[in-house]
């Protein structure tokens, strides 16, 4: 059973390796990513220590905390829930 699991794990790494791309995000103030997810419209949502980044494959939008606005994020560090 262990050999079967290791075999499938190695196959998964080989397949995933071909799909991984290096993504350069324009205008992102930090490289300290806390979490990443995607939505049904294929946006990547990246939680950082300095706000929330929405990436559409070309441009990125940054959403930050503003203590004087009730419509902004409540804090700077964003960790997306599972």
Question: Whole-prediction pTM value?
Answer: 0.61
**15 in Cβ contact with 7 (< 8 Å):** no
23: Cβ contacts below 8 Å, ≥ 6 apart: 55
Q: What angle do CA 60, 50, 44 make, to 5 degrees?
A: 35
Q: What is the per-residue pLDDT across 30-49, written as a single tens digit (0 to 9) for each?
A: 778 888 888 889 888 888 88
What are the tens digits of pLDDT across the range 50-71? 888 888 888 888 888 888 888 8
pLDDT of residue 9: 65
Give the whole-angstrom CA distance, residue 68 versus residue 50.
17
What's the rounded Cα separation, in Å, for the pair 46 and 41?
A: 15
């Amino acid at each position: 059973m262990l050999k079967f699991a290791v075999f499938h794990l190695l196959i998964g790494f080989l397949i995933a390796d071909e799909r991984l791309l290096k993504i350069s995000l324009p205008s992102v103030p930090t490289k300290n990513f806390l979490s990443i997810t995607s939505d049904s419209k294929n946006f990547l949502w990246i939680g950082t220590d300095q706000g929330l980044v929405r990436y559409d494959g070309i441009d990125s939008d940054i959403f930050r905390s503003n203590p004087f606005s009730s419509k902004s994020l409540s804090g700077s560090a964003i960790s997306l829930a599972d």
